[in-house]
Amino acid sequence: MRFGGGCWSGERSAAGARAHVSTFEGTPRFEIVRRLGVGGMGAVFEALDRERERHVALKVLTVENAEALVRFKREFRSLQSVHHPNLVSLGELFAQGDVWFFTMELVRGIDLLAHIGAVKPFDEARLRAAFHQLGLGLAALHRHGHIHRDIKPSNVLVAPDNRVVILDFGLVRAEGEPIETSPDLVMGTPEFMAPEQAMGAALSPASDWYAVGALLYTALVGEPPFVGPPMSVMVQKQMQDPERPSARVEGVPPDLDALCMALLRREPRARPSEAEILKQLYVELRKDDRTYLTLPTHPTAERFVGRHETLAALDEAFDRALAGQRRLVFVTGGWGIGKTALVREYARQLSLDARGPLVWSSRCHEREAIPWKAVDMLMDDASRFLLRCPAAELGALLPDDIELVARTFPVLMRVPAIAERPPGAYDALDAHERRERLFAAVRGLVERVAATRPLVLVVEDLQWADADGVSLLRAILLPPAETRLFFIGTMRADDAFVYAPAGLVDGIEPEAIAAVHLPPLSSAESIDLAEALWPDADAATLRRVVHQAAGHPLFLRELCLQRGPHALKLNDALRARIAPLPASARAILDVLAVSESALPQSLVGELAGVEWGDAEAAIAHLRAARLARTVGLRRTDLVEIAHDRVRNAVRDILLPATLRLLHEKIAHALVQLPRASVEVLADHWLGAGQRGRALACVLDGAERAVELLAFERAVTLYDRALELCNAGERPAIEALAQAARLAAQP
């Protein structure tokens, strides 16, 4: 049996891996300051992000190994949407040439045991505070459906402000996700991993809590529960319980002694529940912990209800695909309406279908700057499928140019039949021909697989798709091949007529395409979801909650989470969420609530009086809390309030003077922006109590419209001016409006 740690846990490298990036000198955007650490498969650097003017940690994959690349991408994608003060914040994923790296929060600190003082006498107050924060961070990770698998001293840092931060998600797995490594390779750190992890058995959050117990034991005693060679340690864990900490050293608090032994029980089900652990580790809860503990969980972590008509429409389209009629279904809808939950539930149902469909899924992440983003995760799934295929069947599935596909999507190199092929002579081809052959080969791979069994391709969040990825996806979906291929895409769009990125469906017959705009939940569906979220609520309470949510799944969940007086009114529930926000996040949320339109992120920070580095973190906080939404991550990219009902909840608690001041600040800023909406600018001047400026703004816009011969636009603006003017100003404006109406007539 072999043991492998996370990317930064030791000097061992993955079997078959070879050095790929011996040094990393940075990029035009990232200036390397120093190397922070190195491991078997990568290195972490401190870097200056010139674009954001802040220092970050930058993690680089340094080996050429397909399995390592799969793990590297999974590490980022699993945690990029998780935000908690006790989990390191991830930034963006990049692929530049054949170098992969991602950015993350730079934590300047020391490891947990050094902070506590692992040699007697340890600092009990520090220990309790640190383990409480460790518990909160781990609980947040578990609530998003993930297991860390490598909790150990070097992966838990304590910053100078005593904030505990869990690092290194290189081994993270979704709960229940199968492990794809070799059966004789155990991933983790023997001294801290749970007995079931060493045996290759199914893991659960209890496995991480065992590691916390081993860490607590080390803090109390000065060494782990079992020491020795790795195999000896793992055998001891299977066969016996450790000696109690209080039997080894004096002065161990009885409650910590008992908790430590409970966490180290060999049987996972015998270990205490998460709620019991957090209760025993309790210290005075910080206000931002309360915020994060009520953040929405991962969509797969909740019960799915309703949507029967939409599921039936997907079934009908799938049946047609089975008959050889290629079908594309696009699911659209506004923010938080349940698109992801729907397609993942349908994918789950397909996995149980007796007809044996194969589902490959992808998601376009906002925070990824990689080529072929729309297709990248589909190729990850393709590699998993091919890896499991019998050798006798594999040859018929691989197109002639599979080596070119593997050069573009290196994860395919973990399939031995692909990795062992001699490299093709592609460098002699011009770029255009290489691209055409790549597209044909990817399409050929998909069609060959779909000829053997029904194939369903799912791509979420197409609004973040890249142009090259869209082009390749279109090549896959084009007729005339008659294979059992079914495509499902999701796209955030408040407009039901916008269902796909530009160019994706060009050349595809209209009858093969269906667009489903997801409506709010019905009353019956809302009741079902409310009962699942709040099982002990009475019928009258559930009806009031459902009425307040108005069919919006996220708001329904927010109300049910409150489980008290705040749950009876959405504004109260949202205000309860908003109240404990950090000052910087609250200041930015106030600006977003008052603004009538999306604004550049750096401008929002300026208007809120928050420096860019803190503003960026605050916006990420608000995005994770589902209070704001962004259309990119750069300073010039836009951010806006998540929903009008969030806007109303914030505005209701702003003082009138604060509201007027924010309106005035935003109006002054909009004047400097090109193409600012005249109506929006006028509304802000009016909100600032400056009717005269609002009127002048509208009249100026109407005059420009006349100059551009946009007479109907001018009429609209003059009508707005008539609403703003006083009696003395009215005759002149009416004359201008009439002249515009006459000019607009054919």
Asked whether residue 347 is domain-assigned, the answer is yes
Q: Is 279 inside a domain boundary?
A: no
Note the Cα 99 to chain centre separation in Å: 22
The angle at the Cα of 37, spanning 35 to 42, to the nearest 5 degrees, equals 100
Together in a domain, 535 and 495: no
In a shared domain, residues 565 and 676: no
Among 480, 406, 488, which residue's Cα sits nearest to residue 445?
406
Q: 529 and 513 in one domain?
A: no
Mean pLDDT, the chain, whole residue set: 85
What residues have CB less than 8 Å from 139, skipping those under 6 apart? 274, 278, 293
SS3 for 670?
helix
CB 93, CB 368: distance < 8 Å? yes
pLDDT at 14: 34
How much is the pLDDT for 12?
A: 29
Q: Are 424 and 555 contained in the same domain?
A: no
Residue given tokens 């730079």 in the structure block: 106
Mean pLDDT of 463-469: 90
Among residues 576, 600, 619, which one ends one of the domains?
576
State mean pLDDT over 495-521.
83
Contacts of 335 (CB under 8 A, 6+ apart): 492, 629, 642, 643
State the burial class of residue 731 (Cβ atoms within 10 Å of its Cβ: 0-12, 13-18, 19+). exposed
Q: Check residues 462 and 16 and name the one with the higher pLDDT.
A: 462
Under a CB-based contact definition with an 8 Å cutoff, are residues 593 and 651 in contact?
Answer: yes
Q: Do the Cβ atoms of 55 and 33 come closer than 8 Å?
A: yes
Q: What pLDDT was estimated at residue 20? A: 53
Regarding predicted confidence, which is higher, 569 or 69? 69
**Would residue 662 count as lying in a domain?**
no
Q: Are residues 316 and 439 in the same domain?
A: yes
Which range among 12-21, 214-223, 659-668 shows the weakest confidence by mean pLDDT? 12-21
Whether 319 and 414 map to the same domain: the answer is yes
pLDDT reported for residue 625: 82
Local confidence band at 3 (pLDDT 50, 70, 90 cut-offs): very low
Point out the domain boundary residue: 576, 606, 621.
576
Over residues 104-120, the pLDDT tens digits come to 989 998 989 888 875 55
Q: What is the CATH number of the domain that holds 714?
A: 1.25.40
Tell me, what's the pLDDT at 594?
A: 95
Indicate which CATH number applies to the domain containing 381: 3.40.50.300
The verdict on 326 and 416 lying in the same domain is yes
Report whether 10 contacts 23 (CB < 8 A). no
Answer yes or no: is pLDDT of 173 > 80.
Answer: no
**Amino acid of residue 191:** E
Q: Which residues of 265-287 are buried (b: 16+ CB within 10 A; e: fewer)?
A: beebeebbebeebbebbeeeeee
Q: Are residues 400 and 496 in the same domain?
A: yes
Please check whether residue 590 is in contact with residue 606, taking contact to mean a CB–CB distance below 8 angstroms. no
Per-residue confidence (pLDDT) for residue 564, from 0 to 100: 65
- Counting runs of H as helices and runs of E as strands, what totals does the chain give? 31, 23
CA distances to 151, 195, 464, 568 from 631, in Å: 34, 44, 8, 32
Q: Report residue 339 as tokens.
A: 């698109």
Residues 396 and 449 in one domain: yes
Shared domain check, 449 and 374: yes
Amino acid 739 reads: A
User: Pairing relation of β-strands 455-460 and 485-492?
Assistant: parallel
β 42-49/90-96 pair status: unpaired
- Options 49, 150, 168, 590, the catalytic residue: 150
**Joined tokens for residue 715:** 């009429």
Q: What is the pLDDT of residue 294?
A: 42
Distance, in Å, from the CA atom of 334 to the CA atom of 342, rounded to the nearest integer, reads 13
Per-residue pLDDT band at 526 (split at 50, 70, 90): very high
Q: Is the pLDDT of residue 739 over 90?
A: yes
Could you tell me the pTM of the whole model?
0.79
Tell me: pLDDT of 567 over 70. no
pLDDT in tens, 374-432: 999 999 999 999 999 998 889 899 998 999 999 999 999 999 999 888 877 787 888 88
Q: What residues contact residue 167 under an 8 Å CB cut-off, 6+ apart?
A: 88, 107, 155, 156, 157
CA separation, residue 332 to residues 344, 362, 464, 470, 519 (Å): 14, 16, 14, 17, 9
For residue 296, the model assigns a pLDDT of 43
Task: For residue 591, give the nearest of 541, 553, 627, 558 by alpha carbon.
Answer: 627
- 392 and 513 share one domain: yes
Give the pLDDT band of residue 565 (cuts 50, 70, 90): low
Residue 7 CA to residue 67 CA, distance in Å, equals: 12
* pLDDT level of residue 8 (50, 70, 90 thresholds): very low
Residue type present at position 183? P
Is residue 286 very low, low, confident or very high in pLDDT (cuts 50, 70, 90)? very low
Higher-pLDDT residue of 609 and 177 is: 609
**Domain contains 408:** yes
Name the band, by pLDDT with cuts 50, 70 and 90, for residue 609.
very high
Residue 174 in any domain: the answer is no
More confident residue, 124 or 155: 155
Average pLDDT over residues 180-196: 70
| β-pair partners for 638 | 600
Nearest to residue 290, comparing CAs of 90, 579, 559, 575? 579
Taking only the tens place, the pLDDT of each residue in 54-79 is: 899 999 998 888 888 988 898 888 88
CA neighbor of 212 nearest in space, from 161, 280, 285: 280
Helix H or strand E encompassing 404: helix 402-408
- 266: in domain: no
Burial code (b: 16+ CB inside 10 Å, e: under 16) for 98-122 equals eebbbbbbbbebebbbebbebeeeb
Does residue 6 have a pLDDT over 60?
no
What is the pLDDT averaged over residues 189-207? 85
> What confidence score (pLDDT) does residue 737 get?
92
* Total domains, the chain: 4
Tally of CB atoms within 10 A around 547: 13
What is the rounded CA–CA span in Å between residue 128 and residue 633? 37
| Confidence at residue 730, expressed as pLDDT on a 0 to 100 scale | 94
- Locate 695 and state its tokens: 């009127």
For residue 196, the model assigns a pLDDT of 86
C-alpha 355: how far from chain center: 32
Q: Between the CA atoms of 644, 645, 648 and 649, what dihedral angle is there, to the nearest 10 degrees?
A: -140
The answer to whether 47 and 29 are in contact (CB under 8 A) is no
In a domain, 375, yes or no: yes
Segments forming the whole domain that contains residue 680: 672-746
Q: Are residues 418 and 382 in the same domain?
A: yes
| Residues 512, 514, 518: CA angle, nearest 5 degrees | 165
Q: What is the pLDDT of residues 341-371, one digit of tens each?
A: 899 999 999 988 888 899 999 999 888 888 8
Where a domain ends, among 104, 124, 148? 104
Does 685 map to a domain?
Answer: yes
Residue 644 has pLDDT above 80, yes or no: yes
Residue 9 pLDDT class (50, 70, 90 cuts): very low
Residue 719 a catalytic site member: no
What is the C-alpha to C-alpha distance for residues 18 and 226, in angstroms, rounded to an integer? 33
Side chain identity at residue 133, one-letter code: Q
Supply 451's token pair.
Answer: 């000829």
CB 303, CB 531: distance < 8 Å: no
Instruction: List, as one string, the DSSP characters of 97-124.
Output: TTEEEEEE-----EEHHHHHTSSSSP-H
Supply the CATH number for residue 95's domain.
3.30.200.20
Residue holding tokens 């290195």? 43
The pair of three-digit structure tokens given for residue 476, joined into one six-digit string: 């896959």
Q: What is the DSSP string of 35-57?
A: EEEE-SSEEEEEEEETTTTEEEE
